Amino acid sequence: MPELILLRHGKAATGDAGEDLQRRLKTRGKRDIQRLGVWLVRQNMQPELVLCSPAERARTSAEKCAKAMALPCHRIRTDKAMYPGRMDALQRIVQTLPQRAKRVMLVGHNPGLEQLIAHFAGRAQQPTSLRTGSAAIVRSAAAWSAWREGCAQLMQLQRGRDLPELFPFPLERPSEQRSRPAYYYRQSSIVPYHIVEGHLEVLVTGSSGGKHPVIPKGIIEPGLSALESALKEAEEEAGAVGPALSPALGHYVYEKWGAPIRVEVFAMQVDELLEAPRWTESQRGRAWLNLDQAKRALAQKQLGPLLDELAQRLSV
């Protein structure tokens, strides 16, 4: 029986006229969407396909929700017809969904989403409102191509802010509650390097806040390995591309969000340095430091022994 999850984007910052597509989610909006993702997992309602509006707040909502469900982001497809999201355009999208997909999520905007619920479920079942950071579950016995007025039933309406504030950890068979979704607590990092006249140099960038030098590091995205995620961070944060050294240099543990986080650390030989716009976080800047300079400059002192391990492997 086909099931449609209609997710309205999370609470977003206000924007000036003409900037609606660029409006970003507020922190509250991100958390509400992540809580809905966890709720969907607990209900065993993960979608097989996610379609979202091209608006920044909708795309971020789709990604945050998918990751909270431990789903890879390649399940998300952007559809221009979902912005601004007229009801008739949304109905055409539903009617052309692949029949093999039995559960699909649409991430978009009002009033189109509310109107779509009222159209499919019948006016008598129209919810009072589908607020930001809320999800509606609509189900029908009809094939997607046959979804028409009154063909479906509104099964549930859930608001993110009404769900528990803390997140189960781990996601499956949780033993505790934490302040962030479970996937936040697995991270990977990578040391971009090259050899100049027999000496090791490490590429560092500015931290996201611009306060101190760092090496690329981030949360391991669902669907990616620790190494794949680290290489992605290197390209985005440092604009660095090249092969990874195998095996990993090691790992370290630090505290954040009220719990320990394990960081797998890799190394990569830099073959190419990208420039903006291909270097998506060029505002960070970057610089080559020798081994001693890097060990002094990096705030995470647990990286020191791992940099020594890299130098030893390379015999420099």
- Asked if 124 and 44 sit in the same domain, the reply is yes
Distance of CA 247 to the CA centre of its chain: 27
- Mean per-residue pLDDT over the chain, rounded: 95
Span 46-63, pLDDT tens digits: 999 999 999 999 999 999
- Asked if 62 and 147 sit in the same domain, the reply is yes
Both tokens assigned to 90: 């949304």
- Asked if 153 and 39 sit in the same domain, the reply is yes
CB 158 within 8 A of CB 135: yes
Query: What distance in Å separates the CA atoms of residue 135 and residue 124, rounded to the nearest whole number?
Result: 19
Residue 128 confidence (pLDDT): 64
Is the predicted pLDDT of residue 314 greater than 80, yes or no? yes
Torsion angle (degrees, nearest 10) of CA 170, 258, 221, 11: 100
- Asked if 11 and 128 sit in the same domain, the reply is yes
- Asked if 197 and 309 sit in the same domain, the reply is yes
What is the extent of the structural domain holding 107? 3-162
Percent of the chain scored above 90 by pLDDT?
94
Task: Report phi then psi at 90, rounded to 5.
Answer: -65, -40
- Asked if 94 and 9 sit in the same domain, the reply is yes
- Asked if 186 and 308 sit in the same domain, the reply is yes
In a domain, 176, yes or no: no
Across the strands, what pairs with 156?
137
Residue 16 confidence (pLDDT): 63
Span 293-302, pLDDT tens digits: 999 999 999 9
Domain count, the chain: 2
- Asked if 152 and 199 sit in the same domain, the reply is no
Is the predicted pLDDT of residue 143 greater than 60, yes or no? yes
CB 154 within 8 A of CB 138: yes
Span 83-95, pLDDT tens digits: 999 999 999 999 9
Q: What is the pTM of this model?
A: 0.92
Instruction: Tell me the average pLDDT across 26-41.
Output: 98
In a domain, 170, yes or no: no
In a domain, 134, yes or no: yes
Instruction: Tell me the average pLDDT across 254-266.
Output: 97
In a domain, 192, yes or no: yes
Residue 81 confidence (pLDDT): 96
- Asked if 202 and 157 sit in the same domain, the reply is no
Say which CATH number the domain at 101 has. 3.40.50.1240
Span 273-300, pLDDT tens digits: 999 999 999 999 999 999 999 999 999 9
Both tokens assigned to 278: 């291909």
- Asked if 145 and 212 sit in the same domain, the reply is no
Q: Residue 127: which pLDDT band, with cuts at 50, 70 and 90? A: low
In a domain, 262, yes or no: yes
* Domain termination site, one of 162, 193, 216: 162
- Asked if 278 and 158 sit in the same domain, the reply is no
Query: Helices (DSSP H) in 122-184: which residue ranges?
Result: none
In a domain, 201, yes or no: yes
Distance of CA 111 to the CA centre of its chain: 26
* Domain termination site, one of 115, 133, 162: 162
CB 268 within 8 A of CB 255: no
In a domain, 252, yes or no: yes
Span 163-188, pLDDT tens digits: 999 999 999 999 999 999 999 999 99
Q: Residue 17: which pLDDT band, with cuts at 50, 70 and 90? A: low
CA nearest to 217, candidates 194, 184, 195: 184
Across the strands, what pairs with 268?
192, 244
CB atoms within 10 A of CB 1: 9
In a domain, 169, yes or no: no
- Asked if 121 and 205 sit in the same domain, the reply is no
Residue 209 confidence (pLDDT): 85
Instruction: Tell me the average pLDDT across 251-260.
Output: 97
Instruction: Tell me the average pLDDT across 246-264.
Output: 97
Residue 249 confidence (pLDDT): 98
* Domain termination site, one of 108, 134, 162: 162
Span 198-216, pLDDT tens digits: 999 999 999 988 889 999 9
Instruction: Tell me the average pLDDT across 254-282.
Output: 97
Instruction: Tell me the average pLDDT across 94-100.
Output: 97
